[in-house]
């Protein structure tokens, strides 16, 4: 079912890539470089150091932590 709609944090990814001009993998690498910081500290880092909005930063962090089994 290739037409199935993406849900959850990943649904933000096309907008993030368009808005900030970098692939999500780049943002995930920044999040992983910030380990072992907690979720909100990682969100704050993306916002303060890279200018991401709260929703976009939160989506990247949530998805990355879940992928890495740290959620």
- Cis link prior to 10 (omega < 30° from 0)? no
CA 3/CA 9 separation, integer angstroms:
18
Residue 20: the pLDDT is 96
Q: Where are the domains of the chain?
A: 10-67
Residue 44: its pLDDT value, please?
98
pTM score, whole prediction: 0.90
Q: What is the pLDDT of residues 14-70, one digit of tens each?
A: 999 999 999 999 999 999 999 999 999 999 999 999 999 999 999 999 999 999 999
Please give the pLDDT value at position 33: 98
The DSSP-derived string for 11-55 is GGHHHHHHHHSS-HHHHHHHHHHTTTS-HHHHHHHHHHHH---HH
How confident is the model at residue 13, as a pLDDT? 96
Predicted local distance difference test score (pLDDT) of residue 2: 58
């Amino acid at each position: 079912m290739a037409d199935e709609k993406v849900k959850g944090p990943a649904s933000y990814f096309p907008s993030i890539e368009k808005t900030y001009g970098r692939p999500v993998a780049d943002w995930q690498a920044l999040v992983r470089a910030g380990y072992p910081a907690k979720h909100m500290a990682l969100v704050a880092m993306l916002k303060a150091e890279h200018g991401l909005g709260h929703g976009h930063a939160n989506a990247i962090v949530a998805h990355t932590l879940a992928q890495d089994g740290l959620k």
